[in-house]
Chains A and B, each alone.
Chain A
Amino acid sequence: MKRYTLLGVILIITGLVYGVVAYTYKTKKTTSIAVSYNRDIRPILSDKCFSCHGPDANKVKAGLRLDIPSRAFAELEKNKGHYAIVPGFPEKSDLITRIESNDPAIMMPLPESHLTKLSKEEIALFKKWIQEGAKYEKHWAFVAPVKAVLPEIDHTKWVRNEIDNFILEKMEEKGFDPNEEAPRDALIKRAYADIIGLPPSYEALNKWRNNTDENWYAKMLDQLLQQPAYGEKMAIQWLDLARYSDSYGFQDDEIRSQWPWRDWVINSFNKNMHYDEFITNQIAGDLLPNATKGNILATAFFRNHKYTEEGGIIEEEYRVSYNIDKTRTYGKAVLGVTIECAQCHDHKYDPFSNKDYYQLYAFFNESKEKGFEGDVLQSTKAKNPKLYISKEERSSFLNFVNTVDTGIIEVSVMGDWKAGDTAKPRPTYILSRGSYDAPTNILVKPTALESIMPYDSAKYGSNRLGLAKWTTNKKNPLTARVFVNFIWQDLFGRGLVKTSGDFGLQGELPSHPELLDWLAVDFMEHNWDIKYLVKKILSSNTYKQSNLISKKQLEQDPENFTYSRSPRLRFKAEIVRDYILSTSGLLNTTIGGPSVKPYQPKGVWESSTSGRGSLASYTQDHGSDIYRRGLYTFIKLTAPPPSMMIFDASNRDQCEATRSSTNTPLQALTMLNDPTILEAARVLGENTSLSKKSLDEKIEQAFETIVIRKPTKFEREKLIAYCEKQVAIFNSKPAIANAALKVGEFEHPKQKYNSSEAAALMKTILIMYNLEETITKS
């Protein structure tokens, strides 16, 4: 009885703690050594215990749940008088006995789980945590962010904006100093790469170099943010999340026309459409009052999933699979949670039940689409519901949809059954084991994930527009954090939450939680203004540091968790291409339109095709179309463009939140032998040879154009010596020079030029293109 009372008191206290304390930040330089549930305990529970004692109601063993205090502190169902956790009393807690034991009959985790035993340190943490009262905290990411007080730091002069306060605080704690500011050339290259994904022209480089205005950097940022190439650069990451492609993706893999949506995205970034509006349009543009075709077009976001044209499939199986894809994409791209586990069972780690999943799925289940509209022989470029865009519309309010085509363009978009339609809105039942042919009789209504934020259907309504409102509600703990983190990831190569697609319990904890929250709140306070956010980060001294790596940094912080230097990141696949084309002068800067087919090795499409459909063989484009930016390269899902895949582009099969960044011999082969790069070297070589300058000056100018800095003495002399030697060789063997200059379809300059010198410059430029630094952010 006494014990019962004590437990009750503890339960009440813990309940208060659980509800109120939630996620608190430590103030500066506290040396508290209290065990934190979120930091120390929950990751272990999640990894080792929750698969049997977590949120999945069907998998709970012995009735014990360790994810919620009331259940963890309750008397054990299978062992009366015993308790898994008795707050304050590790010696009375069965959990401790179990994790300490080596007896296969009682030890936890069970030997057959293949999970390793907890380490001594981990066991000690559990004891301490229980000793201190076993305080649970709500998962940090599911509590709305608040702006923390800016931390005090010693090196106040270094601070340019609030970001630096947070970054420097940690750096000082770890005994690191920030790097010096990067040289001006490096800042120019870096900001150009991050804002527009292109290098500065030689003229622009010199303009910024020689600008004496003390605000030159801020002015450069402002100018870059106004360039239309900004929208293209920003679109790349969004297209990965939205799994954009130009074909349907199953075996016969016929062409589709989702590209007007891609152009909508570029245009929206360029107009600086604020994120809440950007996402509302894509989730529910068709349901907005007086929806325009532009609003409806945005919803193609949800229709970018693959679509089968394989004869003999079962329609419902695929219709369900498309909805599963939509649910996953919404979860990962917008909320940063992986909800698909709950498709078959309650989520094992996150508080998403099977029912929660189908309630979310229900938003998409009212769409008028079918699972199958015919095989590849009856293929159409879009699948119902479709949006039709006429030539007139393209020349007026949808003028960002850019094509020379004069016909009607069709795009797959969202469109729900409405009351009054011949068919009724489709009810959603929970599917047993996620299987299309095993619906249960449990009917669910569209509802967003309530463990993240309650969904008041009276306020929001029960369609996607309600989901959009819930998503962009400033109290939603995830939306802003997740997007801010994606932007950070794009700029620094890694999000403040490294697992940018998983903010759930199994995701990684943020390296700088206060900073992430500060940025998220600040972003919302500025009405979700994306350009504001980008400029904020690029203006920080954190961003402007040089990227030199000291021995100490390399040994103690190789992955740069302290941000005590600027990261060196290889450009994304598309940007590698854009960089080479742009520096050579070949880049065609047209924005938008149907995707194009540049040079590609022979046989990539042909060797894998069934032979059916218009994409059975690759018909390369010609003329200026083959010099478009990388994001316009045609993506056939079953045989994606090899030069992109070799540089780690997403294969666009599903929503992808991160790309890997590898360094492989295939990349070396591509950089040296891809005709795109050889041709760029040739064209720049020819044009450089036309100038009246000396050979030395020509080489220097080419180097500055490509590497975006002046060569060192060593580099200069080495490249000049190489080039002079090549000139001599070509002078004696003009046939080889002429052979070299034949690379690529682009026409030669009209003026007469020295072919030995042009070919020698071409090879020298090829070397410059292959420098590690050239395709690396400075």
Chain B
Amino acid sequence: MNEFLEHGLNQNRRKFLSKMSLGLGGLALGSLMAPGLFNASNEDELFANVLPHFAPKAKRIIYLFQNGAPSQLDLFDYKPLLQKMHGEELPASIRKGQRLTGMTANQAKFPLAGTKFNFSQHGSNGAWFSETLPHLAKMADDMCIVKTIYTEAINHDPALTFFQTGSQVGNRPSMGSWISYGLGSENKNLPAFCVLLSKGKGNGQGVYSKLWNNGFLDSIHQGVQFSSGEEPVKYLTDPEFIKRGDKREILDEIAALNQESYKEIGDPEIVTKIQQYELSYRMQMAVPEITSLQNEPESIVKMYGPECLVPGTYAANCLLARKLSENGVRFVQLYHQGWDTHGNLPKEIEGQCKDIDQSSAALIQDLKQRGLLDETLVIWGGEFGRTNYCQGALSKDNYGRDHHPKCFTIWMAGGGVKPGVHGETDEFGYNINSLPVHVHDFHATIMHLMGVKHEEFTYKHLGRRYRLTDVAGKVINDLIS
């Protein structure tokens, strides 16, 4: 008896048998993009199939990521004191030695900049909204506005990576990949994790595929990028000379020949291959049906705004997100670029708000009218906030703001969150006064809403158990209804 081999074989056999007993049920619970039974490489796959840990409040997520970091001070976190002290120096007692980015570290002065926009209160909780967000303001009673989220990074790349993967560096799985791995897709013809990209006219910071990467999880959990061009998913479209019936015939030929070699060789991987070709055929029908924006009723176009018919816009992506989500896609991740307002903020932010205000509000409204808002968690926010002092030249109507990690605002709706306003920042909008929410806490809370205990949902990779919340994070019960 060789001990090491025995160990390997036993593990191997045990895994195989329990997979067999889980059978197709197990498969259906896990990702349906998963090839299945025979080639899953990690015992944790089994464990993942027992998720959720408890009854979830949210079944699906739509994450509207505002890439570049929107200014909380010009949108949600109203600070009249800054308007009063416009141009005066940020008191050292408030800054408390917070580190600065290389962009303002050499500034001789840090003059406070009050927002140029008018604010008013909305909804039963009296939440503040800037005049740039008239549509969202009307949805105030559906929104859980978190004013006290904070992060550790002060530059875009690490901050974005942190929000999406729970780690500033490293090749860790994205939130969507974790969810895909743990909960799979509800639709067997669509991937569990879809990514939609759009750009505003404001100063942009790029996105990168690492943000929707599977990390050490199998690559089936990678976000599938839906693009705005003629081909929504890469390689989805058959060449023109291959018609649909023709394609069917080609697939049948391939399947018959593969089946024959399976008989000869006996490798179950060949059967999986046949199934994957079938699935690709079904995807070719399912995806265009969903991504087509042609047949939307007028009421929908009116709700999301006319831009929703222009592929690749944020509005069109919001509409598409609703359709994907409605069809069982577990995690739809949007990115909208253009929020990096180091200078010329008032003009740029107006443009950005124009892009997102109506369609974000429409998404909430649309989900609600379909009875889906309760089970769909919508998240809106950037990777950090912006400073209360001005970057570059300050005038009465113009200013810029640098990166600020110590407090900023995100909002969520649906999916079991409690509407209202959470947390308070100080009157300078620089530090948190009450109820802070760290990025890890945010992740823990989202996992909780999905019925997942974030501390137990781990994946062992190279000798260490990893999880989205790294070694920290607590569920913020105040945010849950």
* A-to-B contact residues, CB < 8 Å: 26, 31, 36, 39-40, 46, 114, 169-170, 173-174, 250-253, 308, 310-315, 321, 338, 341, 349, 372, 437, 499, 501-502, 504-513, 547-551, 554-559, 561-562, 568, 601-604, 607-612, 637-640, 642-643, 645-646, 648, 651, 653-654, 656, 660-670, 672-674, 678, 712, 714-715, 718-719, 722, 736, 739-740, 743, 759, 763, 766-767, 770-773
Question: Please, which residue of chain A has its CB at the minimum distance from the CB of B462?
Answer: A502
Chain B residues with Cβ below 8 Å from A314 are 99, 101-102, 105, 154
Cβ B5 vs Cβ A561 within 8 A? yes
Which of A174, A251, A640, A670 contacts B157 (CB under 8 A)?
A251
Chain A residues with Cβ below 8 Å from B267 are 547, 549, 568
Q: How far is the CB of B462 from chain A (nearest CB, A)?
A: 4
Q: How far is the CB of A318 from chain B (nearest CB, A)?
A: 9
Question: Please, which residue of chain B has its CB at the minimum distance from the CB of A547?
Answer: B265
Chain B residues with Cβ below 8 Å from A766 are 250
Given contacts A251-B156, A557-B12, contact A311 B102 (CB under 8 A): yes
In the complex the two chains form, what is the Cα distance from A170 to B7 in whole Å? 13
Cβ B33 vs Cβ A608 within 8 A? no
Cβ B227 vs Cβ A603 within 8 A? yes
Which of A31, A40, A46 contacts B1 (CB under 8 A)?
A31
Q: How far is the CB of B238 from chain A (nearest CB, A)?
A: 6
Given contacts A313-B101, A561-B12, contact A603 B228 (CB under 8 A): yes
Q: How far is the CB of B266 from chain A (nearest CB, A)?
A: 4
Cβ B103 vs Cβ A645 within 8 A? no
Identify which of residues 45-95 in chain B touch chain A, using a CB-to-CB cut-off of 8 Å: none
Cβ B257 vs Cβ A666 within 8 A? no
Cβ A310 vs Cβ B157 within 8 A? yes
Question: Please, which residue of chain A has its CB at the minimum distance from the CB of B214?
Answer: A660
Could you list 25 A-B pairs, sorted by A, with CB under 8 Å?
A26-B3, A39-B7, A114-B455, A170-B2, A312-B104, A314-B102, A349-B463, A502-B463, A505-B463, A549-B266, A549-B267, A556-B13, A608-B197, A610-B205, A638-B207, A651-B210, A660-B219, A662-B218, A669-B283, A740-B241, A743-B239, A759-B241, A771-B257, A772-B258, A772-B269
Chain A residues with Cβ below 8 Å from B5 are 170, 173-174, 511-512, 561-562
* B-to-A contact residues, CB < 8 Å: 1-5, 7-9, 12-13, 16, 33, 35, 38-39, 41, 99, 101-105, 154-157, 169-171, 197, 204-210, 213, 218-220, 222, 224-225, 227-231, 233-242, 247, 249-250, 253-254, 256-258, 260-261, 264-270, 272-273, 276-277, 279-280, 283-284, 312, 337, 402-403, 455-456, 462-464
In the complex the two chains form, what is the Cα distance from A704 to B273 in whole Å? 22
Cβ B102 vs Cβ A313 within 8 A? yes
Which of B3, B210, B253 contacts A722 (CB under 8 A)?
B253
Chain A residues with Cβ below 8 Å from B242 are 763
Cβ A321 vs Cβ B169 within 8 A? yes
16 extra interchain contacts, Cβ-Cβ under 8 A, other than A548-B264, A561-B12, A767-B257? A250-B157, A252-B206, A311-B102, A313-B102, A501-B462, A506-B462, A511-B4, A558-B38, A602-B227, A608-B208, A610-B206, A637-B210, A664-B35, A669-B283, A673-B235, A763-B242
Which of A313, A602, A739 contacts B231 (CB under 8 A)?
A602
Given contacts A173-B2, A609-B206, contact A507 B462 (CB under 8 A): yes
Q: How far is the CB of A638 from chain B (nearest CB, A)?
A: 3
In the complex the two chains form, what is the Cα distance from A604 to B266 in whole Å? 38
Cβ A39 vs Cβ B4 within 8 A? yes
Which of A548, A601, A603, A660 contacts B265 (CB under 8 A)?
A548
Q: How far is the CB of A317 from chain B (nearest CB, A)?
A: 8
Chain B residues with Cβ below 8 Å from A512 are 4-5
Cβ B208 vs Cβ A639 within 8 A? yes
Question: Please, which residue of chain A has its CB at the minimum distance from the CB of B208?
Answer: A638
Chain A residues with Cβ below 8 Å from B213 are 651, 653
Given contacts A312-B101, A610-B206, contact A665 B240 (CB under 8 A): no
In the complex the two chains form, what is the Cα distance from A402 to B244 in whole Å? 45
In the complex the two chains form, what is the Cα distance from A351 to B272 in whole Å? 43
Q: How far is the CB of A549 from chain B (nearest CB, A)?
A: 4
Q: How far is the CB of A716 from chain B (nearest CB, A)?
A: 11
Cβ A651 vs Cβ B209 within 8 A? yes
Q: How far is the CB of A739 from chain B (nearest CB, A)?
A: 4
Chain B residues with Cβ below 8 Å from A26 are 2-3
Given contacts A561-B5, A663-B269, contact A714 B235 (CB under 8 A): no
Question: Please, which residue of chain A has its CB at the minimum distance from the CB of B277?
Answer: A668
Chain B residues with Cβ below 8 Å from A250 are 157
Chain B residues with Cβ below 8 Å from A674 are 235
Cβ B171 vs Cβ A651 within 8 A? yes
Cβ A666 vs Cβ B208 within 8 A? no
Cβ A661 vs Cβ B228 within 8 A? no
In the complex the two chains form, what is the Cα distance from A26 to B225 in whole Å? 53
In the complex the two chains form, what is the Cα distance from A153 to B122 in whole Å? 83
Cβ A661 vs Cβ B208 within 8 A? no
In the complex the two chains form, what is the Cα distance from A509 to B2 in whole Å? 12
Which of B157, B220, B225 contacts A607 (CB under 8 A)?
B225
Chain B residues with Cβ below 8 Å from A611 are 204, 206
Chain A residues with Cβ below 8 Å from B249 are 722
Which of B41, B156, B225, B280 contacts A665 (CB under 8 A)?
B280
Cβ A557 vs Cβ B9 within 8 A? yes
Cβ A678 vs Cβ B280 within 8 A? no
In the complex the two chains form, what is the Cα distance from A417 to B228 in whole Å? 50
Cβ B236 vs Cβ A669 within 8 A? yes
Cβ A669 vs Cβ B235 within 8 A? yes
Chain A residues with Cβ below 8 Å from B234 are 601, 604, 642, 646, 666, 669-670
Question: Please, which residue of chain B has its CB at the minimum distance from the CB of A652?
Answer: B171
Q: How far is the CB of A696 from chain B (nearest CB, A)?
A: 17
Cβ A712 vs Cβ B235 within 8 A? no
Question: Please, which residue of chain B has its CB at the minimum distance from the CB of A549?
Answer: B266
